[in-house]
Chain A
Amino acid sequence: MINGRSERGTPPVEPVTLKILVAGGFGAGKTTLVGAVSEIRPLRTEESLTEAGRPVDDLGGVPDKRTTTVAMDFGRITLREDLVLYLFGTPGQERFWFMWDELSEGALGAVVLADTRRLADCFAAVDYFERRGIPFIVGVNCFEGTARYATDNVRQALDLDADVPVLLCDARDRESVKEILVGVVRHAMEQAATRRRAVTT
Chain B
Amino acid sequence: MSGDGQPRKHWFDDEAGPVVRPYAMTRGRTTSAAQHRLDLIAVVVTEPDAGDPDADPTLVPEHTEIVGLCRTAPQSVAELAAELDLPIGVVRVLIGDLVHAGLVHVSRPVPPAELPDESILRDVINGLRAL
A185-B121 in contact given A18-B116, A43-B78, A86-B41 (Cβ < 8 Å): yes
Q: In chain B, residues 47-105, which have Cβ atoms closer than 8 Å to a Cβ of chain A?
A: 48, 72-74, 76, 78-79, 81-82, 87-89
* B116-A16 in contact (CB<8A): yes
Q: Which residues of A contact B107 (CB under 8 A)?
A: 14
Residue in A6, A76, A86, A181 whose beta carbon sits within 8 Å of that of B128 in the complex: A181
Question: Which interface class (under 10, 10 to 19, 20 to 34, 35 or more) fits A?
Answer: 35 or more
A46-B45 in contact given A16-B116, A188-B115 (Cβ < 8 Å): no
Stretch at the interface among A25-33, A98-106, A118-126: A98-106
Does A85 make an interface contact (CB < 8 A)?
yes
> Which residue of chain A has the shortest Cβ distance to B18 in the bound complex?
A66
Does A136 make an interface contact (CB < 8 A)?
no
* B110-A106 in contact (CB<8A): yes
Complexed CA–CA distance, A86 and B78 (Å): 10
* B45-A47 in contact (CB<8A): no
Q: Which residues of A contact B127 (CB under 8 A)?
A: 77, 79-80, 83, 85
Residue interface mask A64-87, B partner, CB < 8 A = 1? 001001001010110110011110
* B17-A37 in contact (CB<8A): no
Question: Which interface class (under 10, 10 to 19, 20 to 34, 35 or more) fits B?
Answer: 35 or more
Does A178 make an interface contact (CB < 8 A)?
yes
Q: Which residues of A contact B74 (CB under 8 A)?
A: 12-15
User: Taking each of A13, A46, A50, A69, which has the highest tally of chain B beta carbons within 10 Å of its own beta carbon?
Assistant: A46
Does A131 make an interface contact (CB < 8 A)?
no
* A48-B22 in contact (CB<8A): yes
Residue interface mask B32-43, A partner, CB < 8 A = 1? 000000011111
> Which residue of chain B has the shortest Cβ distance to A72 in the bound complex?
B78
Residue in A11, A37, A44 whose beta carbon sits within 8 Å of that of B48 in the complex: A11
Q: Which residues of B contact A172 (CB under 8 A)?
A: none
Q: Which residues of B contact A16 (CB under 8 A)?
A: 109-110, 116, 120
Does A52 make an interface contact (CB < 8 A)?
no
Residue in A11, A84, A106 whose beta carbon sits within 8 Å of that of B111 in the complex: A106
Complexed CA–CA distance, A188 and B72 (Å): 33
Q: In chain A, residues 91-118, which have Cβ atoms closer than 8 Å to a Cβ of chain B?
A: 102-103, 105-106, 108
Of all A-B residue pairs in the complex, the 3 with the closest CB atoms, nearest first, are: A79-B127, A43-B82, A106-B112
Q: What are 6 A-B contacts with C-beta separation under 8 Å?
A: A14-B107, A16-B110, A50-B89, A105-B112, A186-B125, A189-B121
